């Protein structure tokens, strides 16, 4: 469902304390939500339609925000015009700061049974299978699990 909603093989989200988001997203007239399953609301921009958030009522204290929602300066850093240069390819403006690498570093992957072998099954971080009885994560590829005989 996340793959289809975002149009991405691996949607990247960061979980934030809902209480720490200021101003609250629901205060923005452009922020809209819809119920995609019994306990899940998905937030989107009512102006352009971009997916923005994932909220599970089971973990209401967190709001998952899609990384692509963050402003350019947050992801890439401020433009350093004083150190810009030009060459045959055009103008290059270095960036200072930014949190893109930290925000995009995968910590976990959910529902690995929907992975694409050789492409999304070996990403770093913890992985889970939907409805895994013990609830434990693993770090190997799904294809590494031997089928019982």
Is residue 13 within 8 A of residue 3, CB to CB? The reply is: no
Statement to judge: residues 114 and 56 lie in one domain: no
Question: CA–CA separation, 115 vs 18, rounded Å?
Answer: 29
Statement to judge: residues 95 and 55 lie in one domain: no
pLDDT band at residue 97 using 50, 70 and 90 as cut-offs: very high
The pair of three-digit structure tokens given for residue 41, joined into one six-digit string: 């609301």
Statement to judge: residues 29 and 82 lie in one domain: no
Is 148 contained in some domain?
A: no
Is residue 46 within 8 A of residue 32, CB to CB? The reply is: yes
pLDDT band at residue 132 using 50, 70 and 90 as cut-offs: low
Query: What is the model's pLDDT at position 118?
Result: 77
pLDDT band at residue 138 using 50, 70 and 90 as cut-offs: confident
Q: What percent of the chain has pLDDT over 70?
A: 90
Which residue is listed with tokens 């909603």?
Answer: 5
Number of domains in the chain: 3
If one compares 34 and 125, the residue with the highest pLDDT of the two is 34
Query: Whole-prediction pTM value?
Result: 0.73
Q: State which residues form the domain around 97.
A: 71-105
Query: What is the model's pLDDT at position 23?
Result: 92
Is 25 contained in some domain?
A: yes
Strand-pairing partners, residue 126, are 108
- Is the confidence at residue 1, as pLDDT, over 80? no
Statement to judge: residues 4 and 65 lie in one domain: yes
Is residue 17 within 8 A of residue 25, CB to CB? The reply is: no
Contacts of 65 (CB under 8 A, 6+ apart): 13, 14, 15, 16, 21, 52, 53
Q: What's the whole-number average pLDDT of the chain?
A: 85
At 103, is the secondary structure helix, strand, or coil? Answer: helix
């Amino acid at each position: 469902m996340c793959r289809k909603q975002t149009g991405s093989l691996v949607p990247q989200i960061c979980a934030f304390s809902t209480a720490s988001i200021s101003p609250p997203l629901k205060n923005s007239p452009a922020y809209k939500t819809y119920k995609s399953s019994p306990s899940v609301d998905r937030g989107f921009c009512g102006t352009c339609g971009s997916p923005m958030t994932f909220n599970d009522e089971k973990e209401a204290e967190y709001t998952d925000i899609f990384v692509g929602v963050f402003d350019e300066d947050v992801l890439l850093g401020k433009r350093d015009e004083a150190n810009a240069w030009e060459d045959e390819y055009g103008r290059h403006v270095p960036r200072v700061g930014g949190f893109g690498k930290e925000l995009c570093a995968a910590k976990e992957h959910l529902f690995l049974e929907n992975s694409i072998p050789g492409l999304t099954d070996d990403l770093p971080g913890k992985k889970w299978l939907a409805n895994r009885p013990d609830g434990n994560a693993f770090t190997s590829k799904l294809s590494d699990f031997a089928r019982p005989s």
